[in-house]
Amino acid sequence: MKKTLLKYFLFGLFTAALFPAVGTAQIDMTKGSFLHPTIMTNGEYKHEFSIVLAKLPEDQVEAISSWIYAPLFAYRAKYGLPYGFNLKGSVSTNIITFQFRAGPQWGYDFGKVTLSLNPDVAYWFGQLNQFGFNSKVNAWSGYLSLLLGIEFEKFTLTLGGETEHLFSVTQKADDIETSITKNLLVGYSFSIVIEQPVWGDNFMTLGVKFNYSRFYWPAWAVFPTWDRFNFLPEVIVGFVL
C-alpha cells in the first residue's frame, strides 16, 4: 500500500515538472492553487472539490475486508481577509459520517515560499443502521497544522504537518452509550501536495497524507481502540472550481 501511494505521488510530481499544461505561461500558480497557503486578497474566494481514498488498518477490520478503501468526498472553501488572514471551511462525508470544519489561516510570504499556521475546530456525526449495526456518534475535534508552500514555474508544492485533538465524543450502540469529554491527542499527520493547471487556468490537486491515528474519525463505525497509533495513508485528488 505504501509503495502504491508513493508511485501515484511521484508520477504526479514528475508529470507536473516535465509536462506543463497548455497555456500556463501567463498563469499565477499561487492564484490557481487551493491547498497552497497563498495569502489571498481581501474578499477573494476560492473553492475546491476533492476525493480522499484511505486504507483502514488491518487490526480494525475483518481480514477479508482489509483491502476495502473508504472514500471521503469533500468541499473546501477559503475567503481572503486583511493582514495575511484567510477564513477557511470544509464539509467532508463518506455517506455515513459528516464532518464540518472551519478556522482561520494566517500566512507570511517569503517571496516564492509561504508559511502558514492553521488552527481549526470540527464537529462531526455519523449513523450506521446497516450490516447488523445500530450505532450513532457525535464529536468535537481540534486541529493545528503548519503548511509550507513553495511556488515553482509549473506547479506549487505544499508540505504540511498536523496534530488532531479529540475534545469530546459520544457513541451509542443499541442501548449502550459512552462519552468522553477531555482533550486527547488522537493523531498526527504529514502531507505532500502538488497543484498544477491541467487545462487553461483550471487546477488539479494531487497529494498523499500519512496519518498516525488512534481514532480516525471516518472509521468510527469499526469501534477502534485507542491503545496505539495506527498508520492510515491517504491519496488526495482535487479540482479547484
Amino acid present at 207: G
Q: ∠ at Cα 101 (78, 72), nearest 5°? A: 95
What pLDDT is attached to residue 21? 47
Long-range Cβ pairs for the range 140-143 (8 Å, 24+): 140/166, 140/167, 140/168, 140/169, 141/165, 141/166, 141/167, 141/186, 141/217, 142/167, 142/183, 143/101, 143/103, 143/118, 143/119
Q: Report the distance separating Cα 24 and Cα 102, nearest Å.
A: 32
pLDDT tens column, 34-72: 999 999 999 999 999 999 998 776 666 554 344 345 689
pLDDT in tens, 92-131: 998 889 999 999 999 999 999 999 999 999 999 998 876 6
Cα gap 30→114, rounded to integer Å? 10
Region 2-233: CATH code: 2.40.128
Work out the mean pLDDT of the chain and round it to a whole number.
Answer: 84
Q: Are 120 and 141 in contact (CB under 8 A)?
A: no
Confidence of residue 224 (pLDDT cuts 50, 70, 90): low
Look at residue 232 and tell me whether its pLDDT is greater than 70: yes
Asked whether 95 and 74 are in contact (CB, 8 A), the reply is no
**151/154 Cα distance (integer angstroms):** 8
Does 115 or 216 have the greater pLDDT score?
115
**pLDDT for the residue 237:** 95
**Beta carbons of 197 and 22 less than 8 angstroms apart:** no
- Res. 235: pLDDT tops 60: yes
pLDDT value at position 66? 40
208's grid cell: 498523499
What pLDDT, on the 0 to 100 scale, is given for residue 4?
Answer: 53
State the pLDDT at residue 168: 94
Spatial CA neighbour of 166 closest among 196, 186, 150, 151: 186
> Is the CB of residue 201 less than 8 Å from the CB of residue 29?
no
With 70 as the cut, is the pLDDT of residue 22 above it?
Answer: no
**Cell numbers 482533550 label which residue?**
183
Specify the pTM. Answer: 0.85
pLDDT category at 202 given cuts 50, 70, 90 is confident
Domain ranges of the chain: 2-233
- Residue 158, C-alpha cell as written in the block: 505544499
Burial class of residue 227, CB neighbours in 10 A (0-12, 13-18, 19+): exposed
